[in-house]
């Protein structure tokens, strides 16, 4: 009997005690807390300086259907199968004289060349983590400076609005620019949120260059669609809404639902579908004291709460208190 096709990877939250040290099908093992750490000898493992805000914090584990190859090449750690590529970079800003724009430009130039050279030309999802997001230099905060450097690299490809992957950028508690990504052989479809202005078209008051990401990427693998939702905040149009965490969180849930509906996928776009249908939520909370409130609002608002990873991290705007990214798989 022919086997039912399966997507080439899964992404789950798992008890760290149950994650084996070696797994021939593991694409990535991402731990939270401590420092921004990576080990060239273990291309499948990263640690991010994002303190967990709930006890017994899980590990994020990516597994592939096929056996995984791994390596370290020109400053990029990677794992891959015949269908998907996971890769990461960990840069010391001091190498660039403390110039975050130069570090981001260098990182993205290398990343964009690498995934193409490896034969995976479709960038599907990117995560960006670095410290002191709101520290200002010459009138710009470090998030805006990072966006400037990233934009310079994207311009050289060039990548247009319809080519930009889903992305997250969050402030960590330790030095180092960490970027990790997922790429495939074939592109996904970029999804925008009808409640929001495209980040590619933000007014200049948010920085000299746009943040340059799509709200989500929808990728139809054999067997099932995956929806990779960018870090989503309490923004309508391009304006921040609300100054209290519960109200911001409810706006985020409305934005997540709007992105899901914009896919047109039956499992995501039916009238009753909401964020409870997602497979995983990752919430970044600015103030640790808000963590219990975030959990309570999710429990009260959603019919059921998907697996949730709750982390402390700085959000791209100083008036944003919480941000959530989501996965449907």
Catalytic-residue membership of 323: yes
How many CB atoms neighbour CB 124 within 10 A? 22
329 residues of the chain, pLDDT tens digit each = 456 678 999 999 999 988 888 899 999 999 999 899 888 889 999 999 999 999 889 999 999 999 999 999 989 999 999 999 999 999 999 999 999 999 999 999 999 999 999 999 999 999 999 999 999 999 999 999 999 999 999 998 877 667 889 999 999 999 999 999 999 999 999 999 999 999 988 988 888 898 889 999 999 998 799 999 999 999 999 999 999 999 999 999 999 999 999 999 998 988 888 999 999 999 999 999 999 999 999 999 999 999 999 999 999 999 999 999 999 99
**Alpha carbon distance 93, 104 (integer Å):** 9
Contact 105, 209 (CB under 8 A): no
Contact 74, 87 (CB under 8 A): no
Dihedral Cα 105, 78, 313, 170, nearest 10 deg: 30
**What per-residue confidence (pLDDT) applies to 45?**
95
* 23: Cβ contacts below 8 Å, ≥ 6 apart: 63
User: What is the spatial distance between Cα 168 and Cα 231, in angstroms, rounded to a whole number?
Assistant: 5
Give me the catalytic one of 47, 60, 105, 323. Answer: 323
């Amino acid at each position: 009997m022919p086997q039912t096709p399966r997507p080439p990877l899964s992404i789950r939250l798992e008890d760290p005690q149950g994650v084996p040290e070696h797994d021939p099908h593991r694409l990535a093992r991402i731990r939270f807390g401590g420092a921004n750490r990576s080990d060239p000898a273990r291309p499948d493992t990263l640690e991010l300086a994002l303190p967990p805000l709930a006890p017994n914090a899980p590990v994020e584990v990516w597994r592939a259907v096929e056996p995984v190859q791994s390596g370290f090449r020109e400053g990029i750690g990677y794992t891959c199968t015949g269908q998907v590529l996971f890769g990461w970079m960990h840069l010391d800003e001091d190498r660039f004289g403390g110039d975050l724009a130069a570090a981001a430009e260098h990182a993205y130039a290398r990343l964009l060349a690498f995934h193409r050279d490896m034969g995976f030309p479709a960038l599907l999802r990117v995560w960006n983590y670095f410290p002191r997001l709101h520290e200002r230099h010459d009138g710009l905060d470090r998030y805006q400076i990072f966006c400037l450097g990233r934009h310079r690299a994207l311009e050289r490809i060039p990548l247009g609005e319809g080519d930009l992957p889903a992305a997250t950028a969050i402030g960590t508690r330790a030095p180092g620019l960490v970027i990790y990504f997922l790429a495939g052989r074939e592109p996904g479809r970029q999804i925008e949120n009808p409640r929001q202005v495209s980040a590619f078209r933000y007014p200049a008051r948010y920085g000299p260059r746009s943040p340059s990401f799509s709200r989500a990427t929808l990728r139809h693998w054999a067997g099932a669609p995956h929806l990779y939702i960018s870090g989503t905040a309490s923004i309508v149009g391009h304006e921040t809404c609300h100054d209290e965490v519960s109200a911001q969180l409810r706006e985020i849930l409305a934005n997540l639902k709007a992105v899901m509906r914009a896919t047109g996928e039956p499992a995501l776009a039916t009238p009753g579908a909401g964020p409870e249908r997602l497979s995983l939520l990752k919430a970044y909370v600015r103030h640790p004291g808000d963590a219990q409130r975030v959990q309570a609002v999710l429990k009260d608002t959603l019919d059921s709460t998907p697996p949730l990873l709750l982390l402390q991290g700085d959000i791209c705007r100083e008036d944003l208190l919480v941000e959530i990214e989501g996965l449907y798989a």
